[in-house]
Structure 1
Amino acid sequence: MSKPTPIFEAPWHAQLFALTVHLHEKGVFTWPDWTVDFGVTLADHRLSGDLNGGDDYFNAWLATLERVLQDNKMASGAAVEDMRSAWEQAYLSTPHGHPVKLPA
């Protein structure tokens, strides 16, 4: 019996999707609004040659979510950049195979 193909290629893809669905369910945005915003991001990425079917799709998803959070005054651009920087530093300083954790 073959192993089922995972729906998401990476755990962060699933986490990002789940967070987006959660925010939608909490009323932060409507799904039709999300699809319009995401479509704009996909078109922007496609035009610049950034969309190739791998992590790029979820990077576009993340860019859309970040913009939605900023538009809804849930996170400033500076807060998003600070968090991105903290995750990058945590990722780069974590030994291979270990979970990435942000400092307290």
Structure 2
Amino acid sequence: MQNTLHIGYVTRPYATQKGKPVTYYQVSNNKQLVEIVVPLFELYPLRSKKAKEYLIWKEEVLRKYSYFLNGIPIKATKEEIELTQKSILMLNKLREYNDFEL
């Protein structure tokens, strides 16, 4: 993906606690996430358990990007913290359900 999209970086494979090798692809630039990654997943939707997680992630990314577009610095206001915590709780709830899967 990195070679195709020309954004982000790839970590080298390493073994997890379960002994399976894992490689990560990470994009942390919010503008690149909104302008490249989100449209890619809209064009080619996820069809797995990650599809629900994607919707929560996308909402967070778009919300934070709207601050950037409006020139508003992201501050740790009570409302901002509550919105982020709500997203984290929803993601954790989805992942709890999936923990027992192999």
Q: Which structure carries more strand by proportion?
A: 2
TM-score (norm 1): 0.28
Higher relative contact order (CA 8 A, sep 6+): 2
TM-score (norm 2): 0.29
Q: Which structure carries more helix by proportion?
A: 1
